Structure 1
């Protein structure tokens, strides 16, 4: 601490000895007073530090391994029990802290359009987001919903949750600064009930599963489930102090009510899964409202659809969270959506959100988004939006354009984000303009740098100038030609089938005269695709981390290119033998 400067004595003309003595005494008193002030300030500072960093509460989690605890599987499986017994109980440290100050903006009068970034797979490098955010803003987005999952830089006891390629704390701050620069509200999404495979797959947290065999959902009856969620939410929100909303997920809580603890609870409390669900949600909301005053909360609505109006009213969650109603089908039943919305009005909710999709909802292995399907989904939501005045006083707050990258933590990758950009542009501009008008089409073509688009064929013609356009075109070539061209060569080329069959290759038996009749075509096809794949890999590596590149190549390139590479390897080896006798 910087010491206050000592006041200098005045230039008095009094020369008497008494005046000099008084001056000396005053100076000494000033020194003592300043020292006293410093001591007081140090005591106050130490007290403050002790208050904010006082001892944390450490909860010891226990996993009981017994035959009675088994609900799924063979209770006599001793090998499984032995493995589980070796797992060390996790220690969850729940910081004791007062409310944290948030700095939310008043966006209640703003109709939000959030673009969902699903980072549970193929999370892009921050350098790609630097290029993407200006495009999102130009297309009409005013926010991003970031589902970090294992890409968040968890620390301390949670460090096991993060991917080896997780963003750094500096990355998280830079992402928010980029978003703010381009007028995009950042909404973090933290799953708090279902879809927590990235947490419950780890040995130290397996005993928090609702059903022991499945990592999908939390057991809401174990106190340490909430303790863990408090730590996760605290770490995420500590890095999102400027956010106005948080999304707590809570969709698709598979197997809720099937675990032993849940069955016991329902038996003793004459309850049901809906009550269990609401009790857990209330605990999560209690923590958020206590610790982060002013922060508004969103949640997926599918589990609420099954719960009665009376139960929703009794729970009191309607004043504390907004449901996000999601449907991804191209032509869904608007009347059915109206029934859900009417139910939320009666239950007392004050605001509602919608969720459409621009990619990741038409099949777990889909690699190319069907433009027409996603456009129709937006048009269906616009019809629901037009009907919202019927549901007053419920207020429509915004829509999330979801772009799922995986169906869940264990599934393969869906369409890559650069491949989904044209679909996203069409969907966003359709919502902005209230329909797919000629103005919408022109704007999309202008912004993306295309000359034309064919919705039914899901293609766009032209070079493209958006971030990742090269990957868009190269993936299109893979989808259209890679499998077809190689399959045609390997399975339909009569010379290969007649003179270079699997039997010939196994026994290294071939006549160069016959082999050369197809060799040049095979080698050219191989070299062309090898060159193409090298370029594709380079472009992928500029946007994605190595694990994503390898996974995408394994799923989309190798199954077709590997057989061609094997054939070329055998061709080169056997033709060098110069028609030798058949190998044994």
Structure 2
């Protein structure tokens, strides 16, 4: 299977955009979706506090699944069950469930209410995904595990370590999933398993309940880096394995455009691992997740927007579907996306583009390439402004009209052009995203520069 990851913990798209996107994903070679809802799921009852103000409705969740089914995309919901649960533990009601009191990252697995809460969350998500054969329980990056007082006491009493705590909690979560009436197979990220011995893994019994998803996002990694992990997982009793690559969201928390060559090389590395798998370990390969992170965590800024990541996703999906990136693969990507050419090293695509969100792709490129540069050029290189309209002059409303007229029309024209452009950009973003995401993206990427120009124009007038 080739699952495209939809990370909804930031800039979750409107369902109307997904309706346009799913046929494209199918056409490019995807046959499934890993949907990480986080606070976008319509939790009910006591869990309603977890919902974003713009969370999908129950009808939206049903519609997403219908659209996926229509385009032969299997939906795999992802629920974080140990780490990366800031969206839960930030709430005062659940602060007592933190592993370390001052950090909202990870659950205290010893608090009885932790598993009670998780069962309630999992039950609601699974109940709304009865068509799904799989569920992903997250479980990556459980920061500060073993540092809480309850964990220290447990390790002292049981002569244990953080690995033993991890396995005990995960086994309880997996047993609950396995006991549900809809018969789901479980997946989990593998990074926390890497530090645990094969003997401990085998003894825990989790291998009968879950398949590890081995993630590695570096552009050029060697088969030898993955081989020992796969051997260990086979020795631990796992029968099958998944891999996870990345098409965006792994090259910097504030990245605005995915580096195409970087992500292509990551997928070419995974193809080499796949080819070598039979000699590395007796594991059944079940699928690969193309991750597209939208935030590094609940508190970080947005990284590359989904429409901006579509060219990278298209290259990566087609590379996996065709076993490499040939001229023919490149031509298919260009034809499907409506581009004339693409430059991998420069991460640029030439042509109008005919894919959902192409306007946003181009407009973000404009912001990225020209906004900051054009504003700073006026503020820092225009000698008349530096000489006769400095912050000192502006603060005291003191200036010679003769000198001010020499730059005024130029500044007003630049301001008018950018305000017009930004108005259109906001309209395009509004079609794809909810107001909170639009506001956040504008504040992070546009306002720091445009506000300087706005202030200059205000003082000039």
Class of the TM-score when normalised by the shorter of the 2 chains: over 0.9
Contact 1:140 1:429 in 2 (8 A): yes
Residue equivalent to 1:161: 50
Contact 2:189 2:215 in 1 (8 A): yes
Q: 5 Å matches for 1:440-459?
A: 440-459=329-348
| CA contact 2:2–2:289 (8 Å) conserved in 1 | yes
Aligned to 2:268: 379
1:292 deviation in Å?
Answer: 3.6
Answering whether residue 285 of structure 2 is matched by residue 396 of structure 1, we say yes
Partner of 1:544: 433
- Give the distance between the partners of 2:281 and 2:343, measured in 1 at CA: 39
Which residue of structure 1 aligns with residue 72 of structure 2? 183
Q: Deviation digits for residues 494-541 of structure 1, max 9, x if unmatched?
A: 000001011110111111111000001100110000000000000000
Residue pairs, 1:358-437, within 5 angstroms: 358-437=247-326
1:324–1:352 contact (8 Å) kept in structure 2: yes
Q: Deviations over 1:34-54 (max 9, x none)?
A: xxxxxxxxxxxxxxxxxxxxx
The Cα shift of 1:439 comes to 1.3
Work out which of the residue numbers 131, 134, 156 in structure 1 matches 2:23.
134
1:301 aligns with 2:151: no
Identify the residue that residue 490 of structure 1 maps to in structure 2.
379
- Whole-Å Cα distance in 1 between the matches of residues 377 and 37 of structure 2? 42
State how far apart, in whole Å, the 2-side matches of 1:214 and 1:292 are.
Answer: 35
Secondary structure of the residue aligned to 2:179 is helix
Considering Cα pairs closer than 8 Å and 6+ residues apart, tell me whether 1 or 2 has the greater RCO.
Answer: 2
Q: 1:465 Cα deviation (Å)?
A: 0.3
Q: Partners in 1 of 2:254 and 2:425 — Cα distance?
A: 19
1:293 to partner: Cα distance: 5.0
Hey, what's the Cα distance between the residues in 1 that align with 2:181 and 2:238? Answer: 20
Give the distance between the partners of 2:105 and 2:282, measured in 1 at CA.
36
Aligned residue among 227, 239, 257 for 2:146: 257
Q: Deviations over 1:452-488 (max 9, x none)?
A: 0000000000000000000000000001000001001
1:320 CA displacement: 1.0
Query: Larger Cα Rg: Structure 1 or Structure 2?
Result: 1
Q: 1:504 aligns with which of 357, 372, 393?
A: 393
TM-score by length of 1: 0.79
Does the 8 Å contact 2:2/2:290 carry over to 1? yes
Counterparts of 1:526 and 1:322 in 2: how far apart (Å)? 55
Match of 2:98 among 202, 209, 212: 209
For residues 84-95 of structure 1, the aligned pairs below 5 Å read: none
**Contact between 1:328 and 1:377, CA under 8 Å: does it hold in 2?**
yes
Deviation at 1:294, TM superposition (A): 2.6
Are the equivalent residues in 2 in contact too, given 1:345–1:391 (CA < 8 A)? no
3-state SS in 1 of match to 2:436: helix
Query: CA–CA distance in 1 between the matches of 2:59 and 2:19?
Result: 14
Task: Give CA-to-partner distance per residue, 1:135-162, whole Å, 9 cap, x none.
Answer: 0000000000000000000010000000
Aligned residues between the structures:
461
Q: Match of 1:305, SS?
A: coil
Could you say which residue in structure 2 is the equivalent of 1:229? 118
Report the alpha carbon displacement of residue 236 of structure 1 after superposing the two structures with TM.
0.2
CA distance in 2, matches of 1:292, 1:372: 44
Give 2:63's aligned residue. Answer: 174
Q: SS state of the match for residue 291, structure 1? A: coil
**Would the aligned equivalents of 1:118 and 1:404 in 2 still touch at CA under 8 Å?**
yes
Q: Residue 337 of structure 2 contacts residue 353 of structure 2 at CA under 8 Å; is this kept in 1? A: yes
Tell me by how many angstroms 1:319 deviates: 1.3
Aligned-pair distance for 1:391?
3.9
Per-residue deviation at 1:291? Answer: 1.4
Report how far residue 224 of structure 1 moved: 0.8
**Is residue 2:439 matched to residue 1:554?**
no
Is contact 1:357-1:402 (8 Å) kept?
yes
Alignment of 1:238-317 (within 5 A): 238-292=127-181, 294-317=183-206
1:322 equivalent to 2:208? Answer: no
Match of 1:339 in 2: 228
Q: What is the DSSP-based 3-state SS (H/G/I as helix, E as strand, rest coil) of the residue aligned with 2:191? A: coil
Q: Which runs of 5+ in 1 are unaligned?
A: 1-111, 573-584
1:305-340 Cα deviation digits (max 9, x unpaired): 000010001001111100000000101232111110
Q: Distance in 2 between matches of 1:163 and 1:348?
A: 40
Aligned partner of residue 280 in structure 1, secondary structure: helix
Per-residue deviation at 1:128?
Answer: 0.1
CA RMSD of aligned residues (A): 0.6
Mark the runs of 5 or more structure 2 residues left unpaired by the alignment. none
Task: Give me the TM-score of the superposition, normalised by structure 2.
Answer: 0.99
Please give the secondary structure, in 2, of the residue aligned with 1:304.
coil
Q: What is the distance in 2 between the residues matched to 1:292 and 1:407? A: 34
Is 1:462 the counterpart of 2:356? The answer is no
Assess if the C-alpha contact under 8 Å between 2:175 and 2:209 holds in 1.
Answer: no
